[in-house]
Amino acid sequence: MRRERLRVTASEPVGPYTLLRVGRGALDAGLPGQFFMLEAPGRLLPRPMSLCLGTSSELAFLIDPIGPGTRALCSLGRGDELHVLGPLGNGFDLDVARPLLVGGGIGVAPLPYLSAALGTPPALLGFRSERHAEAAALVPNAEVCIEPTYVTELLPEEPNDVLACGPEAMLVALRALVPDAQLAWEAPMACGYGACHGCAVELGGELRRLCLEGPVLRRRARRELVAVSN
């Protein structure tokens, strides 16, 4: 668990979102689906963000300015500094034969890094508006739909290895259609490393910490991925 003070190299608008690029320092970029705790300037608690893009010199996070912390992150400019802790949690299992990436809204955030790791497999992305859909440009080989069409309507008859991130309703619908899907969930977190027990979610009938058990979960029990409850 490593925490460093990193410098912002760029802040780019992507539709209503902001792509925040920071120098990587000595942090490991981690696996796709893992997350980092980003210091939100002026706020008490850091914010969990999955890695959107990672290179040897840079980490990038796609951020939706929906509250005081994310707005503070989106207002950072080149040269500003912030503490970053990570990578944290369990990412996607990349040992998949026929990957299909599925993303909804700001849930596309981890998909560019995931797509690069898997050799740009096909992706299905859903957004609430054309403006939000500008984020689709970050994900290669993507088919895009806008509400009232949902990504679940674009799923092939027999989707094989679904790896998805998006709003809870989308994940719940996907779980029903593709029981073995790897799904990246979200919960409010204070620490991100297992201390606070704030991010409890129900897994297999028990409340468990999403930061340690997830954020990527799948129904089929594996040592590192806990079964999702019905």
Partner 1 sequence: MLSATKSPLLLNASGCLDALATPDIARSLDGFVTKTITPEPREGNPPVRIAETDAGMLNSIGLANPGRERFLAETLPRLRGLEQPIWVSVGGFTAAEYAETCAALDGCDGVAAVELNLSCPNVDEAPEGAAEIVAACRAVTSLPLYAKLSPVWDLAEVARAVEAAGADGLSLVNTMRGLALDPETLRPRLATGGGGYSGPALKPIALAAVYACAGAVELPIVGMGGVRSGLDVLELIAAGATTVALGTILFSDPGAGARVRSELASQVAERDITSLSDLHRAAHSSLQMAGSSSDNRR
Residues that bind partner 1 (CB under 8 A): 1, 3, 37, 39, 43-46, 68-69, 83, 85, 187-191, 193-201, 206-207, 212
- The CA distance from 3 to 205, in Å, is 33
Nearer to partner 1, 8 or 45 (CB): 45
- The CA distance from 211 to 35, in Å, is 9
- The CA distance from 75 to 208, in Å, is 33
- Rounded to a whole number of angstroms, the minimum distance from the CB of residue 206 to partner 1 is 7
- Evaluate whether 160 touches 41 at the Cβ level (below 8 Å): no
- Rounded to a whole number of angstroms, the minimum distance from the CB of residue 213 to partner 1 is 12
Nearer to partner 1, 180 or 202 (CB): 202
- Rounded to a whole number of angstroms, the minimum distance from the CB of residue 46 to partner 1 is 5
Nearer to partner 1, 116 or 196 (CB): 196
DSSP state of 135: G
- Rounded to a whole number of angstroms, the minimum distance from the CB of residue 178 to partner 1 is 25
* Torsion sign over Cα 203, 32, 164, 134: positive
- Evaluate whether 14 touches 138 at the Cβ level (below 8 Å): yes
- Rounded to a whole number of angstroms, the minimum distance from the CB of residue 64 to partner 1 is 15
- State the Cα angle at 128 between 58 and 181, rounded to 5°: 65
Nearer to partner 1, 32 or 46 (CB): 46
Nearer to partner 1, 103 or 209 (CB): 209
